[in-house]
Amino acid sequence: MPSEVKSLNEECGIFGVWGTPDAAKLTYIGLFALQHRGQEGAGITVNNDGHLTTKRGFGLLTDVFDSPSAVDEMTGQAAIGHVRYSTAGSNLLENIQPLPFNFSDTQFALAHNGNLTNAISIRKNLEDRGAIYHSSSDTENLMHLIRLSQEDNLDDQMKEALNIIKGGFAYLVMTKDRLYAALDPNGFRPLVVGQLPNGAYVVCSETCALDAVGAEFKFDVQPGQLIKIDASGITVDKYTDDTQLAICSMEFIYFARPDSDIYGVNVHSARKRMGARLAQEQPVENADMVIGVPNSSLSAAMGYAEESGLPYEMGLVKNQYSARTFIEPTQALREQGVNMKLSAVKGVVRGKNLVLVDDSIVRGTTSRRIVKLLKDAGAASVHLRIASPPLRYPCFYGIDIQHVRELIAANKTIEQMREIFGADSLGFLSVQGVVDSVNLKTDAPNKGLCVAYFDGKYPTPLYDYEEEYDRDQAQLQSMR
Amino acid sequence: MPSEVKSLNEECGIFGVWGTPDAAKLTYIGLFALQHRGQEGAGITVNNDGHLTTKRGFGLLTDVFDSPSAVDEMTGQAAIGHVRYSTAGSNLLENIQPLPFNFSDTQFALAHNGNLTNAISIRKNLEDRGAIYHSSSDTENLMHLIRLSQEDNLDDQMKEALNIIKGGFAYLVMTKDRLYAALDPNGFRPLVVGQLPNGAYVVCSETCALDAVGAEFKFDVQPGQLIKIDASGITVDKYTDDTQLAICSMEFIYFARPDSDIYGVNVHSARKRMGARLAQEQPVENADMVIGVPNSSLSAAMGYAEESGLPYEMGLVKNQYSARTFIEPTQALREQGVNMKLSAVKGVVRGKNLVLVDDSIVRGTTSRRIVKLLKDAGAASVHLRIASPPLRYPCFYGIDIQHVRELIAANKTIEQMREIFGADSLGFLSVQGVVDSVNLKTDAPNKGLCVAYFDGKYPTPLYDYEEEYDRDQAQLQSMR
Amino acid sequence: MPSEVKSLNEECGIFGVWGTPDAAKLTYIGLFALQHRGQEGAGITVNNDGHLTTKRGFGLLTDVFDSPSAVDEMTGQAAIGHVRYSTAGSNLLENIQPLPFNFSDTQFALAHNGNLTNAISIRKNLEDRGAIYHSSSDTENLMHLIRLSQEDNLDDQMKEALNIIKGGFAYLVMTKDRLYAALDPNGFRPLVVGQLPNGAYVVCSETCALDAVGAEFKFDVQPGQLIKIDASGITVDKYTDDTQLAICSMEFIYFARPDSDIYGVNVHSARKRMGARLAQEQPVENADMVIGVPNSSLSAAMGYAEESGLPYEMGLVKNQYSARTFIEPTQALREQGVNMKLSAVKGVVRGKNLVLVDDSIVRGTTSRRIVKLLKDAGAASVHLRIASPPLRYPCFYGIDIQHVRELIAANKTIEQMREIFGADSLGFLSVQGVVDSVNLKTDAPNKGLCVAYFDGKYPTPLYDYEEEYDRDQAQLQSMR
Amino acid sequence: MPSEVKSLNEECGIFGVWGTPDAAKLTYIGLFALQHRGQEGAGITVNNDGHLTTKRGFGLLTDVFDSPSAVDEMTGQAAIGHVRYSTAGSNLLENIQPLPFNFSDTQFALAHNGNLTNAISIRKNLEDRGAIYHSSSDTENLMHLIRLSQEDNLDDQMKEALNIIKGGFAYLVMTKDRLYAALDPNGFRPLVVGQLPNGAYVVCSETCALDAVGAEFKFDVQPGQLIKIDASGITVDKYTDDTQLAICSMEFIYFARPDSDIYGVNVHSARKRMGARLAQEQPVENADMVIGVPNSSLSAAMGYAEESGLPYEMGLVKNQYSARTFIEPTQALREQGVNMKLSAVKGVVRGKNLVLVDDSIVRGTTSRRIVKLLKDAGAASVHLRIASPPLRYPCFYGIDIQHVRELIAANKTIEQMREIFGADSLGFLSVQGVVDSVNLKTDAPNKGLCVAYFDGKYPTPLYDYEEEYDRDQAQLQSMR
């Protein structure tokens, strides 16, 4: 569960359900459990006896659906929904998902988590042939490819289209009579299937959304699979055999909710093991207590405390209303210690030697601020321990860290970072530490994790991003 | 910091600052840190060179001040603000504080935390003499009494008025040229004074708001004190000598933020000690782990775990967006396990014997729901431990628990409650346990704590509530 | 019916109904017909079995009641409502009427059209005695006086209070069991009583509101009368015998809707007669046609055309959406002829000699703009004829023209004005012309009309305004 | 200018300007003058140095642009805008114009007044080829056809596309470097070009919008023309020679504002001539006065009065705020005479024999209601005269009267209608009367007017509507 003090952003959570009354309401509840995956836009498409209606808007789910009637009036037996993080510049209503498409004789709605690596090429190619795009979202490509496919049934059109797009994607596609779910060949993003007590199927990004709607977990969607749910039940098919699991390790480290399970591994427990491993790899002598940055680092901090034998304490408190304020302290106020989101517990940290556990470091601005906050509150020393390796490379599969110049670890040594943060010591978890702590049951490389942002080894070609990546790396070389 | 799953509500947080630019902005930031004390209304009165302007409305601070300009346009050098919990039936804009009063030649604004016990008598008396009240709030009485006072200066008018009102109150009164703060003779509610780096004084409900605005803590306001802040600085005076500290123990147990200090005692640390004492008083054999109900019970759970030697685990996750949704699951959905606010971490609790620590029990509906949630998630057993004594009597000094028929502990035995909750065992902390854990440095009864809701011994006469209290107790006797 | 191009503003329209289902809805409909009397605030108080609830806000009725449910949820058998013009500086929600007053044992709501001349003195006097005012509105005085009255029944308390206040007023006062209507001793403002098919009584500012709700006109309330409507029907009483009719002549000239009748005289017909009299008093030779400034001057223009034998034409068109735009042309755009509210019909006026009839002139800015608009559209000549005498003195009884320095006719000669307006000639109707055209059946001075803004002879003492009036006149003398 | 009491709805007004600062503001002002052409949606696309941004929404212009900043922040040197009437069922934001289209390398925006007769065929054809439509609007076809054109420059692509679409259309197409305007081969809808003092060109639906923005009229766009405005000035070209003027006669009868000129004919004057001709064709004996239904019938009523020598009177008053209320009287209230939009002036009509002039009759419900209103107000007799022929056939070129079953004149004889309306007599203007009164200078059939809704003779093939039209006529035959 992300703390607001991070600048790392997942692009999206998705939820779909087929064959139950109150489909839109369940989708709202499911998305509410996935809100941590995107706070800048939300939408729901409901299917009422074959007629699809979409409601979407900017902000949190509670901004878009701002009264009970806003959901209640969306009558229907199936629905898909989406919560979204939008990158600056693409701030258009048209980009908020589900994307609705109306044809003379039918309707589609698409929801997508991930990032395509050949979206620009496809769009240029199709526009040259007369295609008109509704949005600036890469998501829309799938719709065009489906409609341009010469295959004679929708199943095969889907498969053909899915084989053309590249990158990271978990797609939900609803038509008047069915719901498809598809996962990319590397399974970069999580996607699970569950079942309601009344037999209706649910497909969504994390198991926490299954729990929220009272659905029983059935299975993790596998790389390359195409799931179809319709009146005759669920069909598990595949559109490619060329697959290899490489799920985003940041899901375990930071994005996913601690109560979710991914491929059978509980996220909180994985984080706790990372914290324990971190205590082994990066111990601190003579510390008085371990504290975590709320909320995303608390599991790792517990693990560090348990392994090290140090007391686990509440040294930082997060304002639970901080998701919502539009009002920020001025820079002058900030300088004099004003902090609206995080507070140090003076009565706890005063005079103490602290192990401060954080899950990851992106730009480093937050780390610097938190160390200062604790020292201003009287901490004797702050030993910063990060429960993941240094982030040094961009992600092209759905996390918003595409510019290496913004990644402090790509530009500074560990000692430089320690100095910038004002910490007394600084240590990171190893890549192997992450891999062992998650410990997925697979013989894929890195036990099925994508760790490209740590080691630069991408599990797929980069297509449209190849050139950008090379340019970034060259620039970086020249800087070092 | 209250979890949303409680039905216990503090009436209000207050914040005032005198003599600094950006007074309204600082008040916004201070109130933001006090938002946990009231979520149903908020307001700020700013003093711009002697001219007072008030903005107030329903909902969270972020609803009332819904754009940066909403605060920025409130130019001024002093301000007071208020966040409010409103009881049903008094849902009028006129009741939202600060209460603004405009006279032909001057202006006042009042903000109040607490509850007066002779408000009804005063109002009836004054209305018979022709007075017209703006609001249905007990707060307004002070204004009428000040204006009716025959004393010839405002200081003495304040003192006269403060001696007439009874009950629990922390008042802020701003005029064009000064800011008063006053605390009731028992100090039922917390009130602290701090100072900004530029020398300006701040008065507010909790030290967490001082931290939020970068102010240094100066002192706790004492029972019976009347503080005046104006161009010539701060004056500490008193309006009565007949005082005896009896601060609300629920502030330590549940209301106050863990990072606040009250009379020198850190709230988190006090809660941790309560948890440790609870482990001594109410141990559980053969348990696997301790979990707390987020967020208000986590400190006590840590204390219980540390004292008992059991692992402290994350067995429940609270949806961090839950403060805001207007959309509720239907009863049918609720029955099938839908829960939008709290989730059990199945991967953690499955098959385990749990010690579940909660801070207090009011109606008991939440306890029942959480026990069921954990058992549905596969917990082998749930041993519920409450880090406070059973709530059996109403509060008349500012907490919204006036009807004993709603208090489950006033109506049921511990064994009956255990059965209702579906817990495997149930244990409460003793009154002495609370008193010793907080451990205020005073020789007042109960070491300066009000524990009347536990033992029915009120530190003051009840005035207008005497009759109501007797009727409630009689009814209760007849029921048992 | 006022055109937006005027700067003369009536303070308020009022409507009350007692003893019918849908009382709030009828009040909404009645106020909708009175919207021309005030566009800056609106409110309704409904009485549901003795419980009074008020909804009020800034803007048009349709801004305050912005959905059907906003009115439908105001269930009740009686209601009063108000539309309001608010003077700058008193832009507070608290001033929007009806003013609601809640006492421990009862409730009141007040709606008022007019202006009291001793409000400031009363308020100062009562504040010295400890009274607290809710609003900065003069309306509130009546409530305080009622409550302070030592009389032992409400009828007598009302009468005592009404004898203390001075100036122009039509009051509606609703309590849980009755509705009072009271008119000042000069009847400055119009007030009529009607009856619905089901027998329920209606009291309101103009007969157009009776027509709008389907009520039959019963009688005009007379100066000094106090009407009471309750379960036993309607009672017509009086609180003073010292009365003399002096109804505001501007009601006939400009404010009232043309379809209203006042003391038996239809407003449109009176205006038409003023136009005809104007043609006699101020003829134009060699004109081609008569045009009126829409909408308030069309009746007078028709009268002028009919009497003079000239064709009546549509030379100006008013944008029917102009009540609502917040967006104004910049000064630069205005200079180049941009006009969002009024257009000249070029095809009609090009090359023609025009008689342009307007109802009155306040500041003169509009007249200048309209003459320019017509000349820019190609008019050969524009002969401006005003269907009322020059406005030279302030009104203290409820019209917002209190500063003579803003009245062009108080500062300039007719020839000066003509030159400023750019008109080819300029003529005004005489005071006697107004009096004869309205022709009320009474032997009061000026046949029962107040014409003080024309001749400076006020029918009452000015109380609090005496000094202000003298100062203004002195200043004016020094300027001339 | 339409009265609200009509159910005839024009689909849209358009406005474009190229090459001036404040382009969006001028477009707002221009659209404000065209608001009568569509009240259910509005939008503006601004072009800021080649970057196009669109803001659009439901309701009046003042709903969509609800603060000055909403327009001010749309910086740019060119803009197009649209006001819209949307038929039920197509109530989607996506249909509100201008329609924005974003391509990888360019942007377009389209605004359209009219209705295409082969839109369905084109859409089906293109969807079969893989095209995806954004909206359900027929407007969008042009964009697809432009993009699919194989011509090698945009001018020729436009021409090719314009030759494929059929029906009534006035189009504005803005790209980053130019603004096109195109009119259909029959010129069904009006479209004019003007010039601002600074030289910038304006294209819009009516001359009243030119006047509103201070632009000088230059010329009426002719059927089949394609106008291009860009940095090098204005180019007048044509895309077809196969043209014949058949401008909608309802523009003169009802839609256009009285101050607009169409092909050199002033609308008010044309209406006045229609009224005069109506007096000749359908005189009334022994009438006392002529009254018109405000506001659209006032010109015709003046003409009737002038020609007949009867006095012109104000017998009906329209509530000037009626454009905005969401709150309607219940049917029960309506029965008892409640009317929120129109009032009879009792003081004028009581006991009188009236000639009531209305511009046209669609369903007839309004006529019935107005006759009743006047009789309830005491009119001795009401002789209804309609300043246009009976509407008996649907329009396929942009007016929303497509279902003949809704047209009372298609289903009833004149005597039947008279009885339904409760009028004492009823008479219509002849088709020749309309043609002669408008009197356009052309030798096209009906002097260049389309009168198909009166005589069923459509100036073009009906394409997609052929079948629908035949079915409707057959049904009608069977009913008669």
Give the chain B residue nearest C100 (alpha carbons).
B134
Q: Are residues B299 and B227 part of one domain?
A: no
Q: Are strands D247-248 and D449-450 parallel, antiparallel or unpaired?
A: parallel
- In total, chain B counts a number of residues equal to 480
Query: For chains C and D, what is the number of CB pairs under 8 angstroms?
Result: 199
Q: Are strands A78-84 and D316-318 parallel, antiparallel or unpaired?
A: unpaired
Given an 8 Å threshold on Cβ–Cβ distance, is B345 in contact with A197? no
Residues from chain A that touch B312, judged by Cβ atoms under 8 A, are 302, 312
Q: What is the pLDDT of residue A477?
A: 75
Q: What is the pLDDT of residue D402?
A: 59
CATH number at residue D87: 3.60.20.10
How far off is chain D from C427, nearest CA to CA, in Å?
24
Q: What is the pLDDT of residue A137?
A: 87
Flag whether A6 is in a domain.
no
DSSP assignment of B168-232 equals EEEEEEEESSEEEEEE-TT--S--EEEE-TTS-EEEES-HHHHHHTTPEEEEEPPTTEEEEEETT
Flag whether B254 is in a domain.
no
Reported as a single tens digit per residue, the pLDDT across A38-95 is 988 999 999 999 999 999 999 999 999 998 899 999 999 999 999 998 654 457 788 8
Chain B stretch 205-234, residues whose beta carbon is closer than 8 A to a beta carbon of chain A? 208, 211-214
Q: Say how far apart CA D101 and CA D91 lie, in whole Å.
A: 20
Known binder of ligand: residue C376?
no
How far off is chain C from B131, nearest CA to CA, in Å?
6
Judged by phi (left if over 0) then psi (alpha if -120 to 50, else beta), residue B189 lies in beta
Q: What is the pLDDT of residue A334?
A: 80
Q: What is the pLDDT of residue C2?
A: 31
Q: Are residues C163 and C117 part of one domain?
A: yes
How far off is chain D from A8, nearest CA to CA, in Å?
27
Q: What is the pLDDT of residue C426?
A: 98
Whether chain B lies against chain D with 3 or more Cβ pairs closer than 8 A is: no
Whether B313 has its CB under 8 Å from any CB of chain A: the answer is yes
Given an 8 Å threshold on Cβ–Cβ distance, is A347 in contact with B259? yes
Whether B333 has its CB under 8 Å from any CB of chain A: the answer is yes
Helix (H/G/I), strand (E/B), else coil: B467: helix
Measured distance between the N- and C-terminal CA atoms of chain A, rounded to whole angstroms: 34
Chain C stretch 69-128, residues whose beta carbon is closer than 8 A to a beta carbon of chain B? 93, 101-104, 120, 123-124, 127
Q: What is the pLDDT of residue D4?
A: 30
Flag whether C254 is in a domain.
no
Reported as a single tens digit per residue, the pLDDT across C410-450 is 999 999 999 999 999 999 999 999 999 999 999 999 999 99
**Of the candidate ranges B121-135, C36-50, C304-318, D394-408, the one whose mean pLDDT is the lowest:** D394-408
Flag whether B461 is in a domain.
no
Residues from chain D that touch A124, judged by Cβ atoms under 8 A, are 104
Q: Is B12 a catalytic residue?
A: yes
Q: Are residues B312 and B173 part of one domain?
A: no
- Its domain, for residue D76, covers 13-243
Domain boundary among C243, C259, C291: C243
When pLDDT is averaged across residues C1-19 and rounded to a whole number, the result is 64
- Per-residue confidence band for C332, with pLDDT thresholds at 50, 70 and 90: confident
Given an 8 Å threshold on Cβ–Cβ distance, is D134 in contact with A131? no
Q: Are residues B344 and B279 part of one domain?
A: yes
Domain boundary among B243, B260, B286: B243
Flag whether B90 is in a domain.
yes
Reported as a single tens digit per residue, the pLDDT across B428-469 is 999 999 999 999 999 999 999 999 999 999 999 999 988 878
Chain C stretch 183-202, residues whose beta carbon is closer than 8 A to a beta carbon of chain D? 196-197
Q: What is the pLDDT of residue D473?
A: 80
Q: Say how far apart CA C155 and CA D453 lie, in whole Å.
A: 66
Known binder of ligand: residue A358?
yes
Given an 8 Å threshold on Cβ–Cβ distance, is A25 in contact with B327? yes
Q: Are residues A269 and A238 part of one domain?
A: no
Query: How much is the ipTM here?
Result: 0.91
Residues from chain A that touch B298, judged by Cβ atoms under 8 A, are 314
**Of the candidate ranges A250-264, B123-137, C318-332, the one whose mean pLDDT is the lowest:** C318-332
Alpha carbon D357 to its chain's center: 21
Residues from chain A that touch D127, judged by Cβ atoms under 8 A, are 103-104, 147
Q: What is the pLDDT of residue B377?
A: 95
Cα angle, residue A222 at apex, residues A216 and A225 outer, rounded to 5°: 110
Q: What is the pLDDT of residue B4?
A: 30
Q: Say how far apart CA B442 and CA C426 lie, in whole Å.
A: 88
Residues from chain A that touch B348, judged by Cβ atoms under 8 A, are 266, 268-269
> What is the mean pLDDT of each successive set of 10 residues along chain A, which is 480 residues long?
38 94 96 93 97 94 91 96 72 88 94 94 95 91 96 97 97 98 98 97 98 96 98 97 97 96 97 98 97 95 97 94 75 80 95 98 93 96 98 88 81 97 98 98 96 95 87 74
Given an 8 Å threshold on Cβ–Cβ distance, is B127 in contact with C104? yes
Flag whether A328 is in a domain.
no
Q: What is the pLDDT of residue A343?
A: 95
In what helix (H) or strand (E) does residue C290 lie, and over which residues does it extend?
strand C289-292
Give the chain C residue nearest B140 (alpha carbons).
C132
Residue D112 near residue D169 (C-beta atoms within 8 A)? yes
Q: Which of D295, D303, D312, D374 is nearest to C259 (CA)?
A: D374
Residue C32 near residue D340 (C-beta atoms within 8 A)? yes
Q: Are residues B110 and B35 part of one domain?
A: yes
Give the chain B residue nearest A4 (alpha carbons).
B320
**Of the candidate ranges A461-475, B372-386, C198-212, D253-267, the one whose mean pLDDT is the lowest:** A461-475
Binning chain B into helix, strand and coil, the percentages to the nearest 5 are: 35, 25, 40
When pLDDT is averaged across residues B157-186 and rounded to a whole number, the result is 97
How far off is chain D from A294, nearest CA to CA, in Å?
39
Domain count, chain A: 2
Reported as a single tens digit per residue, the pLDDT across C134-153 is 888 899 999 999 999 999 99
Given an 8 Å threshold on Cβ–Cβ distance, is D312 in contact with C325? no
Flag whether A420 is in a domain.
yes
CATH number at residue C311: 3.40.50.2020
* Cα-only R_g, chain B: 23
In what helix (H) or strand (E) does residue C428 lie, and over which residues does it extend?
strand C425-428
When pLDDT is averaged across residues C381-396 and rounded to a whole number, the result is 96
Q: What is the pLDDT of residue D86?
A: 61
Question: Which residue type does B105 have?
Answer: D
Q: Which residues contact C74 (CB under 8 A, 6 or more apart)?
A: C24, C25, C44, C46, C53, C55
Flag whether B325 is in a domain.
no
Q: What is the pLDDT of residue B444?
A: 96
Q: Are residues C281 and C136 part of one domain?
A: no
Query: From first to last of its 480 residues, what are the pLDDT tens digits of chain D?
Result: 233 333 445 569 999 999 999 999 999 999 999 999 998 899 999 999 999 999 999 999 999 999 889 999 999 999 999 999 765 445 778 889 999 999 999 999 999 999 999 999 999 999 999 999 988 889 999 999 999 999 999 999 999 999 999 999 999 999 999 999 999 999 999 999 999 999 999 999 999 999 999 999 999 999 999 999 999 999 999 999 999 999 999 999 999 999 999 999 999 999 999 999 999 999 999 999 999 999 999 999 999 999 999 999 999 999 988 766 677 788 888 877 788 899 999 999 999 999 999 999 999 999 999 999 999 999 999 999 999 999 999 899 988 765 778 899 999 999 999 999 999 999 999 999 999 999 999 999 999 999 999 999 999 999 998 887 888 788 777 765
Q: Say how far apart CA D184 and CA D169 lie, in whole Å.
A: 5
Q: What is the pLDDT of residue D2?
A: 31
Given an 8 Å threshold on Cβ–Cβ distance, is B132 in contact with C130? no
Chain C stretch 389-418, residues whose beta carbon is closer than 8 A to a beta carbon of chain B? none
- Per-residue confidence band for C159, with pLDDT thresholds at 50, 70 and 90: very high
Question: Which residue type does C113 have?
Answer: N
Known binder of ligand: residue C288?
no
Among A132, A146, A464, the strongest candidate for a mutation testing the D interface, having the largest count of D CBs within 10 A, is: A132
Q: Are residues C448 and C299 part of one domain?
A: yes
In what helix (H) or strand (E) does residue B83 lie, and over which residues does it extend?
strand B78-84
Residue C326 near residue C294 (C-beta atoms within 8 A)? no
Whether A299 has its CB under 8 Å from any CB of chain B: the answer is yes
Residues from chain B that touch A197, judged by Cβ atoms under 8 A, are 336
Of C104, C133, C134, the CB nearest to B124: C104
Q: What is the pLDDT of residue C1?
A: 29
Mean pLDDT for chain C?
A: 92
Judged by phi (left if over 0) then psi (alpha if -120 to 50, else beta), residue B427 lies in beta
Whether chain C lies against chain A with 3 or more Cβ pairs closer than 8 A is: no
How far off is chain B from C143, nearest CA to CA, in Å?
9
Q: Are residues D310 and D188 part of one domain?
A: no
CB-count exposure of residue D392 (10 Å: 0-12, 13-18, 19+) = middle
Q: Are residues D196 and D272 part of one domain?
A: no
Reply yes or no on whether the pLDDT at B7 is more than 60: no
Q: Which of D323, D338, D301 is nearest to D429 (CA)?
A: D301
Strand order in the sheet with B167-175: B99-102, B107-116, B167-175, B178-183, B225-230, B233-238
- Per-residue confidence band for B329, with pLDDT thresholds at 50, 70 and 90: confident
State phi, psi for C379 to the nearest 5 degrees: -60, 135
Q: Are residues B409 and B287 part of one domain?
A: yes
Q: Are residues A291 and A385 part of one domain?
A: yes
Cα angle, residue D38 at apex, residues D34 and D42 outer, rounded to 5°: 85
Q: What is the pLDDT of residue D7?
A: 41
Chains that touch B (3 or more CB pairs under 8 A): A, C
Whether chain C lies against chain B with 3 or more Cβ pairs closer than 8 A is: yes
Q: Say how far apart CA B202 and CA B181 lie, in whole Å.
A: 10
Domain boundary among B227, B243, B259: B243
